[in-house]
Amino acid sequence: MKKKVVVGMSGGVDSSVTAYLLKEQGYDVIGVTMQVWQEDEEYEAAEGGCCSLSAVEDARRVAYKLDIPFYVMNFKDIFKKNVIDYFIDEYMEGRTPNPCVACNKYIKFDALLKKAMDLGAEYVATGHYATIEKIEDRYLLRRSEDDRKDQTYALYNLTQFQLAHTLMPCGLYKKDKIREIAKEIGLLVHNKKDSEEICFIPDNDHGSYIKKQVPGKVREGYFVDKQGNILGKHKGIVYYTIGQRKGLGIALGTPVFVTDINPLTNTVVLGSEEDIFKTELIAKDINFIPFDKLEDTMEVMAKIRYSAKPEKAWITPLEDGRVKVKFENKQRAITKGQSVVFYDKEYLVGGGIIDEII
């Protein structure tokens, strides 16, 4: 009897080829698009994003072409609570969240996996560029064959149970090869551009989006220096992030950067570029993959944002369950709310949310 797998289909080339590859491997494939968009005309009509109505139609056409069943499942409420509301709350607290990390944790590999199992499926599959391996009794997550597209940074929250019931066939291929396969089998999405914006904010203006969602709560305040001296007015803390230089709307005769954001005083601290380089941080909400708990200091390669290059660091467990991270070299713009992720050679060790900068 064929093993059943539910493929999360976003309408993009990666998830489309995922469905094709798994069908070719003999799986009983079901295509599912997660309905996460809220009641917003501009949002629903947006082109290209993985949450738009146009993406649903792209996914439906691919499923028809591959001759697999296709369903649209409603995840609106759980997405709003765990991704959109979380995103807004974090920015209102002066932090910079990563909505893709939250979506993977609560939606794709939790809510969708549960739905898949309700359908009698043994696996959920996605178009992520990463590789799942089992060594002895432990599931591990390895970096993708395509280093430029590797997505392990956003997958560090996966549990052993989730890894045991997840398939990611794209991780064994280069992106160019995935597009080539899509073209060869006649998928119209073979040259569809990758979605890079936040899926629920089509124009990428997160500040205006938040202001619209929480009327009256985004207030103007002051730019200050590190001594607290007022330098000018800002339009609301949600518009800024650590390390930002452009778009500040203030001219001081010398380049300045956002070095801190204080939600209690509604101020944005500006300083020199030197002020945004740090070596130490504390992370919370930690998850490890090769082992359950960090017992002692461990040398790793770590990075503080998706696009960063991993650099040597040491991670040390703290009594409150958090982890202290010390980099060998100073890192630019360590940002509260973002994820710090750890590697041992090609394998993902784990990660957490940046909670404090030391």
Catalytic annotation present for 170? no
| CA–CA gap between residue 11 and residue 57 (Å, rounded) | 7
State yes or no: 48 annotated in a binding site: no
Selecting among 51, 100, 170, 199, the annotated active-site residue is 199
Query: Is the four-CA dihedral 118, 287, 126, 81 of positive or negative sign?
Result: positive
Catalytic annotation present for 103? yes
- Tokens matching residue 358: 């030391």
State yes or no: 15 annotated in a binding site: yes
300 and 325 in contact (C-beta within 8 Å)?
Answer: no
State yes or no: 207 annotated in a binding site: no
Q: Helix (H) and strand (E) counts for the chain? A: 10, 17
State yes or no: 16 annotated in a binding site: no
CA proximity to 33, closest of 6, 13, 14: 6
Selecting among 50, 51, 100, 103, the annotated active-site residue is 103
State yes or no: 34 annotated in a binding site: yes
CA proximity to 143, closest of 135, 154, 323, 110: 154
State yes or no: 208 annotated in a binding site: no
Q: What are 222-226's contacts with CB under 8 Å, separation 24+? A: 222/266, 222/267, 222/268, 223/248, 223/250, 223/267, 223/268, 223/269, 223/270, 224/267, 224/268, 224/269, 224/270, 225/269, 225/270, 225/271, 226/259, 226/260, 226/269, 226/271, 226/275
State yes or no: 232 annotated in a binding site: no
State yes or no: 168 annotated in a binding site: no
Specify the DSSP class assigned to residue 307: T
State yes or no: 54 annotated in a binding site: no
State yes or no: 256 annotated in a binding site: no
Name the H helices within the chain.
Answer: 13-24, 41-45, 53-66, 76-79, 85-92, 99-103, 112-118, 160-164, 175-184, 206-213
Instruction: Give the H or E element holding residue 187.
Output: none
| CA–CA gap between residue 323 and residue 303 (Å, rounded) | 14
Q: Which residues are annotated as a binding site for ATP?
A: 8-15, 34, 127
Q: Which residues are annotated as a binding site?
A: 8-15, 34, 127
- Catalytic positions are 103, 199
